[in-house]
Amino acid sequence: MSSTSILFLFLFLFPLSSLSHLFSPPDNYLINCGSSAPSTLVDYRHFAGDISSALSPSPSPSHSAVSLADQNPVPGSSPIYHTARVFTSPATYSFPISHQGTHILRLHFHPFHSPNLRLSQAQFHVLANGYVVFSRLQTLYHPNPTILEYLIWVEADKLDIVFVPNKHSKLAFVNAIEVISAPKDLVPPTAHYLTSGNFEPLNKHALQLVYRLTVGGVKVTPFNDSLWRTWIPDDDFFTPTVASEKLYFGGRIKYRFGGASREVGPDNVYNSARLIRSKNDSVPNVNMTWQFPVVGGYKYLVRLHFCDIASISLGLLYFNVYVNGQLALEDLDLSYITNSLASPFYSDFVVDGGDGVLSVAVGPSKRSMAHVIDGILNAVEVMKLNNSYSSLDGDVCADFVIKTWSTGKYTGMLFSLVAAVCIVLSLSIVIRRRLIGSRESVSWSRLPVNLSDNGVKN
């Protein structure tokens, strides 16, 4: 094949419009734990081995931090799941940070079979930047790899990730780690808190991905996402309604300066949707509803993605949006916000986990019209926020996890003392952040439910 043909094929597969929007994170660490050789994934990302690397965990490789290889890997499985780093005492990965701000952290786990170590029985905590992000205290075995994704605010010159085995199992492990700088527009400082007013500073909380759905579309893989995310179809969470339908759009998604970027949501997310269509002289009296099981006792960020890929003209689509049964947006007019068809935006809401079920609904409003589209949704993301213990997994703080390992005892007195320390530290952090935020933030008004741009990113 000639060089001209190769260039033509490359430009055909990767349009110039996409090439001009490739995201290049300042901090980009991809670690294949327990391996001495680099590995390349199907999305062409290169994971470096951590053996004899500057990023090897401390303590340095020894009897308490060893590498393990799967002697019988599943054919076709990703190479990052063929090895693991195993710990029998607390160990820390330290990642130098060149750009402070929000970072994406992904932890990969796949407890493959080993004749000497039972990874499926491992019980441990994972700490990141002082947050408890993961507590595996039950012996659960999943045949498929598990990927846990977090958004962590980093103000220091390094991000420490600590693996702390539970005293009962004396075993922790990890297959791969990703630490990636997030775009500045990925997590805004403020979101609308449905209970009362605004929630801030949102971007300085730790968040854990719970659900990321493409609505009405097919699975979007990391290969087709500039932040290497996976978006799964919404079918398992959607309550079917007679008036709803799926739609695929073959045209161009019109990203605009100051609006939702490809890093917020890729083209393949915005070019599909579910919608409510009026097919006669009446407006359907029905809502499209999605329900998500969640863990109670936490607040959640609900991000809703919208892009009018269905209307034939501006000014025809009006609808209401409900989150947890509360009216979140009334008479939402996409034309007013974007001044264009096929132009994406998103809206953020913080809600309480409540009884363990979170719901989103979209339906016609009093301004909806017959013979047109009366509701649309393109994607949903749900993320858990850290609690007052600076934890995303349980009522225990990082100090308690470390002190428990040191003492080896879960005494009632120790728990009460350290829990009290956790609460005091958490309150001091919250107060400090609010004081800083009050000096640094611009004025922000409460988000009305009628066509306000506050809390809505277009």
Q: pLDDT, tens digit, for every residue of 315-329?
A: 999 999 999 999 999
In terms of domains, do 312 and 233 share one? yes
State pLDDT tens for residues 28-52: 999 999 999 899 998 899 999 998 7
pLDDT at 2 over 60: no
In terms of domains, do 212 and 166 share one? no
AA letter at 37:
A
- E strand spans, 234-336: 238-239, 244-248, 272-277, 288-293, 299-306, 318-323, 326-333
Query: For residue 242, how many C-alpha atoms fall within 13 Å in the half-sphere facing its CB?
Result: 5
In terms of domains, do 300 and 366 share one? yes
> In this structure, is residue 432 part of a structural domain?
no
Residue 176 forms beta bridges with which residues? 32, 108
CA distance 452 to 211: 26
pLDDT value at position 454? Answer: 41
AA letter at 420:
A
CA distance 452 to 310: 23
State pLDDT tens for residues 8-24: 333 333 343 343 347 89
In terms of domains, do 105 and 153 share one? yes
User: In CATH, what number is assigned to the domain containing residue 381?
Assistant: 2.60.120.430
State pLDDT tens for residues 368-424: 999 999 999 999 999 999 999 999 999 999 999 998 887 764 444 344 444 454 555
Expressed as residue numbers, the domain containing 362 is 207-386+444-457
Q: Which of the two residues, 250 and 423, has the higher pLDDT score?
A: 250
In terms of domains, do 151 and 267 share one? no
> Strand, coil or helix: what is 180?
strand
pLDDT value at position 188? Answer: 95
State pLDDT tens for residues 112-154: 988 888 888 899 999 999 999 999 866 556 778 999 999 999 9
> In this structure, is residue 224 part of a structural domain?
yes
CA distance 431 to 249: 47
What sign results for the dihedral spanned by CA atoms 15, 21, 26, 27? negative
> In this structure, is residue 269 part of a structural domain?
yes
pLDDT value at position 103? Answer: 98
Based on C-alpha coordinates, what's the Rg of the chain?
24
Q: Which two tokens stand for residue 177?
A: 């780690």
pLDDT value at position 7? Answer: 36
In terms of domains, do 266 and 349 share one? yes
